[in-house]
A and B are shown apart, each in its own frame.
Chain A
Amino acid sequence: MTLLGWAQIALTLALAALAAVPLGHYAAAIAEGRVRWLRPLEALLYRAGGIDPTAGQGWRGYVLAMLAVNLAGFLLLYALLRLQGALPLNPRGLPGLSPWLAFNTAVSFVTNTNWQAYSGEAAMSYLTQMAGLTVQNFLSAATGIALALAFCRALAAGGVARLGNFWADLTRVTLYLLLPLALLLGLALVACGVPQTLADYAEARTLEGGTQLIALGPAAFQVAIKQLGTNGGGFFGVNSAHPLENPNALSNLLQCWAILVIPFALCVTFGRLVGDARQGRALLAVMLGFVLAGTAAIYAAEAAGNPLHLAAGLDPAPGNMEGKEVRFGTALSALWAAATTGASSGSVNAMHDSFTPLGGMVPLFLIQLGEVLPGGVGSGLYGMLVFALLAVFIAGLMVGRTPEYLGKKVQAREIKLAMLAVLVLPAAILGLTAVSLVLPSATASLANAGPHGLSEMLYAYSSAAGNNGSAFGGLTADTPWFNTTLGLAMLLGRYAYLVPVMAIAGSLAAKPRAPEGAGTLPTHGPLFAGLLAGVILILGGLQFLPSLALGPLAEHFSLLAGKTF
């Protein structure tokens, strides 16, 4: 590890945390309907949709509207993927996708996962990229943010039945937050050299005299929203490790910043909406702490290098550079890996499969912890709030009162729903991994034997269920089995999680908000932040320890003993 490496990490995190404050206030203003600079356009959209933006919805209405939008999005995208061969803006003449892959991809983009069992430049037409994938990048991100805003309102208000209007939230978040930010970032990326063109792929003549086809396309703006919306689906197959998707240090800084900024900002928004900035800061501190700790762990592991290589006499200075871009090095690869898995982005600028066992375990564990550190846009915040409710419930009793969070009593109904949500990840991840590992047809897709093979399988299902979408690699995922089960894991991770969570929001909204006093558990400050971190580790992480022991830990200690598989 170097000082310069740490300075790069610190700069990126500081910029994200600093930008989160004004952006969070702005998002709160959007949530309260105070941002209206595109009012005529907004009104036009409502009129076209026959929507009354002031009509509040209960949690069921809100969730049903959300499901309707997502279902429509899924069907449209599925159709587009299947039919792209017959549609325009397809300079390479790429054919439609197989039903399995189309299902998997459509689910993946609608659920904000962006798991890619395909390689963009070889499978997707420009029309699909723009009208299909990019549209879902916006919509799935706006969906998550809208749900989080509704959850915040449920906590902020006392004794109300309505959480807001999903249609209005979706429209405003897209119009006022995501579109302008993506435009700005897209322009900046174009300036950095990311292509934004409808022209055909370029043909280049190499020094040896051969020809090389260089994939191009309308990449910059899609890359902008894939980073900002924690979608993560790369325009090109190797995502932000691709020299045209992420050409230089500046584009890397911007993109890494973009992963974190909205999830961080939503904590500030939360504090603003519930009328107590300290509440948001406590959540932000926990998120930031985990990202920092994760980065440090990966950085340490990668900078130390592979012991077998070192023993063979390789130069230890660059660390483990396998699967990393020389222009980013270990520090920025480590930061990106922690950020992309802490947030449920899934974009990568290095190949996690090639990390050292411990360096690869950290991203895996960050996903398994529930994608709340800081998690996807919106989904990270409401996931974090579920953990906050559990933390309050477990330790809150120790102050001698029925646990309450922000003056709302946490009772059997909330706990039941929270536990339902908490069950989703272990059931989907461990269940599907265990089944796949005993199915010969599934294990045939694994590139590696031994514990690393287990890690590859575990990572795939963790990534899908956590709606992360990053691939560890080493797994041939475009098979009917993986397309289907990973799709199932994505659906469970998104909807089986958020429906109980929104039911909690409905239940909390209806409760009166008791005033804070000396006898109420303070849910801000370092003590609570530490408690919350502990609860995330224990309730979110302990169940995955055996699987980690059999995967990365076994590989790590075997490696130390000089054993390979």
Chain B
Amino acid sequence: MDTHMPAPMPASATAARRDPSAPALLDGPLLRRAALDALRKLNPAQLLRNPVIFATEVVSILVTLLALRAALSGGAWGFSAGIALWLWATVLFATFAEAVAEGRGRARAESLRRGRGETRARLLLRAGDRSLWQPRAATELRVGDLVLVEAGELIPSDGEVVEGIASVNEAAITGESAPVIRESGGDRSAVTGGTTVVSDWLVVRITAAQGGTFLDRMIGLVEGASRQKTPNEVALDILLAGMTIVFLIAVVTLVGLASWNGAPPAVPVLAALLITLIPTTIGGLLSAIGIAGMDRLLRFNVLATSGRAVEAAGDVDVLLLDKTGTITLGNRQAAAFIPAPGVAGEDLARAALLASLADETPEGRSILAFARERHGLEVPALPPGAVAVPFTAQTRLSGLDTAEGRYRKGAVEALLKATGTTAPPEVAQAVERIGRQGGTPLAVARDGRLLGLVALQDIVKPGMRDRFAALRRMGIRTVMVTGDNRLTAAAIATEAGVDDFIAEATPEDKLRYIRAAQGEGRLVAMAGDGTNDAPALAQADVGMAMQTGTQAAREAGNMVDLDSDPTKLIEVVEIGKQLLITRGALTTFSIANDVAKYFAILPAIFVAQYPELQALNLMRLESPESAILSAVIFNALIIVALVPLALRGVRYRPAGAAALLRRNLLVYGLGGLVAPFLGIKAIDLILSLLGLA
């Protein structure tokens, strides 16, 4: 499996990672533009995508025409006009909600796009020859073209490094100013259009034409232009369309029913009843919720290739996480000195320190630090005449030859083999114990004599245990993937509190594990960056590739993390859940609203026919006109009132499904029943105070 891992990031940095430049939920220019867009979206052809709001618009047109006809023929038109006005407002508020959501996405997309402007590229005319090139506009590059990018230049489009090594500033997309290394071959060969080469040069083979780059696709999704409805949205739309038809039947047949023993209600009144009954609230906010979900993910520096992927993230049952760099800090550190029998601790510490003096690896540095902290040893300068013995794959040892002696440290077996000795039973036991605890034992020797062991430990990131516990409460199993042996893997798995682990994992193992879990009907998410992760990323239901990873990995996954931090998979799952919860909460709220609206409108409609039905006027609304108008106004205003919630998402706390359902049902179900009673009454009071009805 891959050894390359991005720099570790403390788990507690979650909050800090959120984009500080995120626009306020609703700021001035954004709203102005959204208002214009909302008008543009009134185009019925475009509204056809949204059956509930489309129906509302058709009814609005009808009532408007009726009001006009009444006005022209000198009839009473004020009431009809009032209803028409608020029906239009309902449609407008719905399109406005979508426009605001798109606007926020667009603001982010524009900042991504900025700086890409008119990039000039150097198109290489012959492969392998960097001297022969001609200038070419980035927009004219085709897939497969080779371009040369030198220090200070923008990479014109997505591509794969075929030659060279350079540091690249990817701040334009990641917001991270520290440059990263990009080189041909291996797992760090992918480059993204719009990023800047800071030093050296690269030859890049273009893998995406202008407009079709990774970033372009993401921008399109966030802006809503190329947004496809997700499967759950499609299903919800069908439900809402079905409910619209049901209520259409109920209202249209009312003409016949009311004709028995009376005259049928006026069309504007029936229109008001219809629009307040059909689920305009969720219908108006549905696409805004979806766009806002994508946007939240983007703000979090994760790009999803589709809304479907975000939705799937909420469904994940199994989370595959690499051990190194994700669960643990990734570099092993000295945690204990264990002297062999008859050796003083001080002696061992000194020998370990000297053996590591020339060792520049993090492990070596950690031994020096440990010797200093625990044994108060000064770290000396390299003694004169000392010769550093570097680590080689053959000896698997390193050390230092000084006048005092030859110090060596290395894998226990390797050292025993080199010294031709066997370990005393105490040492052998210690070796096993360290392995069991997830550590790596290093043996230390002086002049061929085994002095003892240094226990290296992989440190689990702080806070991971709690997060895995939270995931477990959400019903998600975490699986640690590691190249370590079973013993080591088991120890770290226990310490980190994961549910399962795959030890000595090969890419095939991962693929097999994912398939097996999926075979049981579970949804699997994983993060990966290497080319050999690509099959597993593609197989997983949610595959989050690292921005630093290979092009193959990025194409295989359905999300890319611009920060290259695999722990973010956990938050991605939470964002997915939050999206679904928001949708469900507003659907429930919207449907529960209907009860109160009946109590407002029904007595008002039938009051002429059966004055006794006033008994159903539970809210004691002022007059039939104000009752109907209040219900319609409430129905329109509630959309605007809920826009912030739709954009921000319902607050999500990791909890089991039963607890979540109880809480949300209470807030949005019961709230949805009660809120309109209060709202309609309040509007009615205002209307009557103003003398409008």
Q: A residues within 8 Å of B by Cβ?
A: 158, 390, 393-402, 407, 410-412, 414-416, 419-420, 422-423, 426-427, 430-431, 433-435, 437-438, 443, 449-451, 453-454, 457-458, 512-515, 517-522, 525, 527, 531, 534, 538-539, 542-547, 549-550, 553-554, 557-558, 560-561, 563, 565
Contact = CB atoms under 8 A, between A and B. Distances in A.
B77 interface: no
Interface stretch (B130-138, B504-512, B572-580): B572-580
B584 A402 contact: no
Interface in B202-230: none
Contacts of A518: 472-475, 656-657
A252 B569 CA distance: 64
A430 B250 contact: yes
B246 A423 contact: yes
B484 interface: no
A401 B577 contact: yes
13 contacts: A399-B581, A402-B311, A402-B315, A407-B521, A434-B254, A454-B261, A515-B522, A527-B662, A538-B595, A539-B243, A542-B250, A557-B615, A558-B612
B232 A395 contact: no
A215 B614 CA distance: 49
Interface stretch (B549-557, B664-672, B682-690): B664-672
Interface in B467-498: 472-476
Contacts of B681: none
Given A400-B577, A543-B249, A545-B602, 12 more contacts: A395-B664, A401-B580, A414-B235, A430-B250, A437-B256, A454-B260, A454-B261, A517-B475, A539-B591, A549-B602, A549-B606, A558-B610
Contacts of B241: 419
A393 to B, nearest CB: 7
A557 B612 contact: yes
A402 B652 CA distance: 16
Interface string B27-46: 00000000000000000000
A397 B591 CA distance: 14
A563 B612 contact: yes
A522 B657 contact: yes
Given A423-B245, A433-B257, A513-B521, A397 B581 contact: yes
Contacts of B577: 400-401
Nearest to B576: A400
A519 B659 CA distance: 10
A458 B669 CA distance: 31
Most chain-B Cβ atoms within 10 A of its Cβ — which of A434, A438, A454? A434
A160 B259 CA distance: 52
Contact of B591 (A394, A412, A426): A394
A397 B232 contact: yes
Contacts of B22: none
A419 B234 CA distance: 13
B56 interface: no
Interface in B543-600: 576-578, 580-581, 583-585, 587-588, 591-592, 594-595, 598
A451 B664 CA distance: 40
Contact of A520 (B235, B250, B475, B581): B475
Contact of B585 (A398, A402, A419, A547): A398
B260 A554 contact: no
B249 A514 contact: no
Contact of A400 (B238, B255, B314, B595): B314
A422 B242 contact: yes
B610 to A, nearest CB: 4
Contacts of B258: 550
Given A513-B521, A550-B606, A410 B243 contact: no
B658 interface: yes
B612 A561 contact: yes
B489 to A, nearest CB: 24
Contacts of B521: 158, 407, 512-515
Contacts of B588: 394-395, 398
A242 B606 CA distance: 40
B235 A411 contact: yes
Contact of A412 (B231, B522, B598, B661): B231
Contacts of B584: 394-399
Contacts of B243: 419, 539
B583 A397 contact: yes
Contact of B317 (A519, A539, A546): A519
A434 B257 contact: yes
Nearest to A399: B657
Contacts of A557: 610, 612-613, 615-616
A397 B577 CA distance: 9
B591 A453 contact: no
A419 B602 contact: no
Contacts of A558: 610, 612
A400 B261 contact: no
A531 B670 CA distance: 11
B249 A426 contact: yes
B232 A433 contact: no
A517 B657 CA distance: 9
Given A400-B576, A437-B256, A553-B613, A517 B317 contact: yes
Nearest to B583: A397
A423 B563 CA distance: 49
Contacts of A543: 246-247, 249-250
B253 interface: yes
A398 to B, nearest CB: 4
A496 to B, nearest CB: 14
